[in-house]
Amino acid sequence: MSLRRYAGRQRLALAALAGVFAGLGQVPFSAVPVALAGLALSLGLLHGARTWRGAAALGFFAGTGYFATSLHWIVEPFLVDVARHGWMAPFGLFFTATGFALFWAVAFALARATGGRGWRLSLAWAVWLGAAEMTRSYILTGFPWALVGYVWTEGPALQLVSLIGPYGLTVLTLLLVAGGVEVARRRAWPTLVRLAVAAAVWLLPLGAGALLLHDDPPTPGAALVRIVQPNAPQDEKWDPERAGFFFQRMLEFTAAPGAPDLTIWPETSLPYYLEDGHAALARVSDAAGGRPVALGAQRVDGWRAWNSMALIEPGGRIADLYDKHHLVPFGEYVPLGGIGRALGLPSFAAEDGFGFTPGEGPHLVDTGAAGRVLPLICYEAIFPQDVNAAPGRPDWLMQITNDAWFGTFSGPYQHLAQARARAVEQGLPLIRSANTGISAVIDAAGRVTASLPLGEAGYLDARLPPARAATPYAQSGDLPLALLLTVLAVGIWLTAWRDRR
């Protein structure tokens, strides 16, 4: 059946539906064949577009469907205080979905303008859309959440990020879909052959990833870590009548029997501003029996504030400090606020008391018996480029987070899936302490070896899984893929220019 016969509005509706199908590949749905079919449908619609403007409209509607489905959790922060902020929820989802859909609109338009017909158009679509996904992950501080490549997070294909990273897996997925569409369009080919190729688009990444998956031998004497999960709902977390209760709960979990080499509390778990010598830090150290504790807290200096992770040693001394450097736009700071300050205008800059101040960048923390760790505070774990920018190779990764903002359906699970991808990319174990869950021990292959469920209070003792050798992606980063996409895009553009002469 040809998609050309559908009228304009029907085609746009189909494009939006294709985007919804593609979004169902993200956790918790993880419907990979449905997602691949949705991407294929969007490409099939592009083949029927006569102009770049029509292609841009198709890309915009497909992108809106995709991001509205995969990022629907974005409404959850507005629902923490429904009376004050609930009215903003639909606007937040609408502008998020349509804003990111603009990247897809540009990619579809460029594919139509430079791709010609047939297989060249399919190739151009894969290249330009892959470049668009990579661009949105970097530009304006970036937001690489719900990358197309993450449809593979719940199976062995995730192992491929150790070779090509998540952006490479995204491009590979789009190329496979493009190849499948080209075979499907060969009507002279037997139906059985075309169905076999369609199945291969799904099975090839699974098989390739399975070849990379293997068990690591246990490490004798590996450090013992304790993960603390207080389960403080966001609407109660800072309530003066409840904050002390949650603090006491974490102290009790920390003081429970056992002798962990390191205890980890989640993001902003300390209900006081972080100050060296604060009595609360001495209580934390006493509860841990003088052993190190890594905890999240806010600290202030004048008008400036930081979202920090502190390593607490005997007596409550702050042995090391890391300040979150990749902040959430509008959630933790107001973009471009410093420009107004520089011009002498009323400002929303951190220096004037609005939001957090970014830290200096990735920082390795020596925890003693547990080794050197790269801390990641919440949102920072979604950026593979930030992990690659560490000043050295750590022994393991640590994410402290407060996922109470993300609801209980998809947001926390997608955040966990991306943390698992970071472990595979680097060949390093990752320990995750989340306020309301999901706290987890993740091995270097991205497998969750122990966890605390979402919405439960508790603590978990576990040995650090062994690290693997630095992966190809950990050594090369995104530069090879960026160069490849540039060469392919230039080649496609030059071919289109030659054909017009």
Residues forming the active site: 267, 324, 378
> What are the C-alpha distances in Å from 250 to residues 93, 127, 374, 407, 454?
34, 49, 23, 22, 17
End-to-end CA distance of the chain, in Å? 34
Return the exposure string of 13-29: e unless at least 16 CB atoms fall within 10 Å of the residue's CB, then b. ebbbbbbbbbbbbbbeb
Residue 320: HSE in the Cβ half-sphere, 13 Å Cα cutoff: 15
- Coil/strand/helix, residue 213: coil
Q: Are 322 and 331 in contact (CB under 8 A)?
A: no
Rounded Cα distance, 179 and 36, in Å: 12
> What are the C-alpha distances in Å from 63 to residues 11, 69, 329?
14, 10, 21
Q: In what order do the strands lie in the sheet with 448-452?
A: 365-366, 372-377, 396-401, 430-434, 439-442, 448-452
Which residues face 293 on adjacent strands? 263, 312
What Rg do the C-alpha atoms of the chain give, in angstroms?
24
What is the distance of C-alpha 268 from the center of its chain? 20
Q: Are 279 and 246 in contact (CB under 8 A)?
A: no
Q: In what order do the strands lie in the sheet with 262-264?
A: 317-323, 304-313, 293-301, 262-264, 224-229, 458-463
Assigned token pair, 107:
């990619």
Rounded Cα distance, 113 and 120, in Å: 11
Q: Burial, 283: exposed, middle or buried (Cβ in 10 Å; 0-12, 13-18, 19+)?
A: middle
Residue 291 makes CB contacts below 8 A (sequence gap 6+) with 259, 260, 261, 262, 263
Rounded Cα distance, 281 and 275, in Å: 8
